[in-house]
Chain A
Amino acid sequence: MTQTGIPPESEIRALVGHEFPGGDYTIAHWENFLLTECTGAEPLPDDLAHPVALFHMPILGARTSIGEMFALGQAESDFSIGIESYDWEIHRPLREELTYKVTGRITESDRRQDSTRTYDRIQFQFDLHDPDGTHAARTTITWTYGRSSK
């Protein structure tokens, strides 16, 4: 991915309110097993899914991708992305083989400058609901998109 030049600030600000298509996501047993192994933990009991799934599951369930999220912010390259924060609110423990309804949107997007650099800051928010409609979790991803020239 290569984006030359800095996008107009108006295009960055206009991202607020962008909605992803949304959809469903089911954490498969194999997926939870491998993810949990990646964290260095043993599998959890009672079909519980490891919360580390709260990164990719909302993204894929909302029918977007890491690549699309980079592209929406017109990232200069994969390496220009920084993580400001991840915020995971868990109202119900996640479980394997349960189908969650996922929605996602951009809630904040603006240009910032500090003493060393110019960057765009984009915040993505995703909501997960159980099959019975209960709000199971909300995740908020805040990334920075570094701009190398101005």
Chain B
Amino acid sequence: MKVAVGDEIPEWDMPSVRPERMRTMAAILRDPNPVHWDRRVPAKLGYGDHTINQGPLGLSYMVNMLHAWTGPTSIRRIVMRFPMAVLDGDHIIARGRVTAIREHAGERLADCDIWLHRPGTENPLEGTATVVIGD
């Protein structure tokens, strides 16, 4: 595939983060933190009537963007920071940009900046990814 430094990764859209998915996630993760499934708790912390998305779920939106772009076995590394919480009901868009192209261990790799965009706020998640882009 043709990839160049500066290319934008096709964005991946999550129109509304859903609270029931946080509950399923909490059960599978054995995650005891009620901020993910009991709205009364984040309300006391100043988040209003919203549960807080698990960090790995926010990260997974980036994974979905990268899979759609370069395929389901392409990710070699993903590093993510979490400046702000993602809440149920949020409209989230995963975006990214190619910052370098290099060869390593016989693979052609693209290094990328990636982030979650939420209209009207700072980016709630920011990080980097390395994906295989083939020949």
* B-binding residues in A (CB < 8 A): 31, 34-35, 37-41, 44-45, 48, 50-52, 54-56, 59-60, 65-67, 78-79, 81-91, 93
Contact = CB atoms under 8 A, between A and B. Distances in A.
Interface residues of B, number: 36
Given A66-B30, A78-B32, A38 B57 contact: yes
Nearest to B63: A51
A93 B25 contact: no
A42 to B, nearest CB: 9
Given A66-B29, A85-B80, A90-B75, A52 B24 contact: no
Interface string B44-63: 01000000001111011101
Given A37-B21, A65-B30, A66-B30, A88 B77 contact: yes
Interface in B74-88: 75-82
Contacts of A81: 33
A55 B29 contact: yes
A78 B34 contact: yes
A78 B61 CA distance: 24
Contacts of A67: 30, 32
B72 interface: yes
Given A39-B57, A93-B73, A79 B25 contact: no
A50 B60 CA distance: 9
B45 A79 contact: yes
12 contacts: A34-B24, A39-B64, A44-B67, A45-B72, A52-B56, A52-B60, A56-B28, A56-B29, A59-B29, A78-B34, A87-B79, A89-B77
B14 interface: yes
B7 interface: no
A118 B96 CA distance: 33
Contacts of B34: 78
A1 to B, nearest CB: 8
B59 to A, nearest CB: 6
A63 B24 CA distance: 21
Please name the 4 residue pairs, one residue from A and one from B, whose CB atoms are nearest each other, closest first.
A39-B60, A55-B56, A52-B60, A38-B21
Given A50-B60, A66-B32, A89 B76 contact: yes
B10 to A, nearest CB: 14
Contacts of A31: 28
Contacts of A85: 79-82, 127
B18 to A, nearest CB: 8
Given A55-B54, A86-B55, 4 more contacts: A34-B24, A52-B63, A56-B28, A91-B76
